[in-house]
């Protein structure tokens, strides 16, 4: 990701042009949207079984119920 053997600050941070392109993308990279889609997918894969979906997502059932309410699922 860099031409030299030394990492410079400029190598770590995105350029202004790259940041602008990133910000113009759809909202699919917002953490809430990513989390919502992960929950939807886990529920589909587990045929709506909350316990199995929560296990797959690495959270408790109560947490999954709370997040489903948050996202209107």
Q: Is residue 1 part of a domain?
A: no
Cβ-proximal residues to 68 (8 Å cutoff; 6+ apart), any chain: 39
More confident residue, 39 or 4: 39
How many domains does the chain fold into? Answer: 1
Parent domain of 31:
9-70
In order of 7, 37, 54, 61, the CA distances from 34 in angstroms are: 31, 5, 16, 19
Mark out the alpha helices in the chain (DSSP H runs): 9-12, 16-24, 31-45, 50-57, 61-70
Q: Is residue 4 part of a domain?
A: no
List the CATH number of the domain containing 33. Answer: 1.10.10.60
pTM: 0.61
Residue 72's pLDDT is: 95
Q: Is residue 2 part of a domain?
A: no
Q: For the residues 7-14, what does the mean pLDDT come to?
A: 63
Distance of CA 58 to the CA centre of its chain: 14
Residue 29's pLDDT is: 72
Q: Is residue 3 part of a domain?
A: no
pLDDT digits (tens, 9 = 90+) for 11-69: 666 555 444 445 555 556 788 999 999 999 999 999 999 999 999 999 999 999 999 99
Whether residue 64 contacts residue 73, with contact meaning beta carbons closer than 8 Å, is answered with: no
């Amino acid at each position: 990701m860099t031409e030299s053997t030394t990492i410079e600050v400029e190598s770590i941070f995105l350029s202004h042009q790259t940041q602008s392109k990133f910000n113009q993308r759809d909202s699919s990279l917002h953490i809430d949207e990513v989390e919502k889609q992960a929950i939807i997918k886990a529920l589909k894969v587990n045929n709506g079984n909350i316990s199995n979906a929560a296990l797959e997502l690495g959270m408790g059932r109560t947490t999954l119920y709370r997040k489903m309410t948050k996202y209107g699922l």
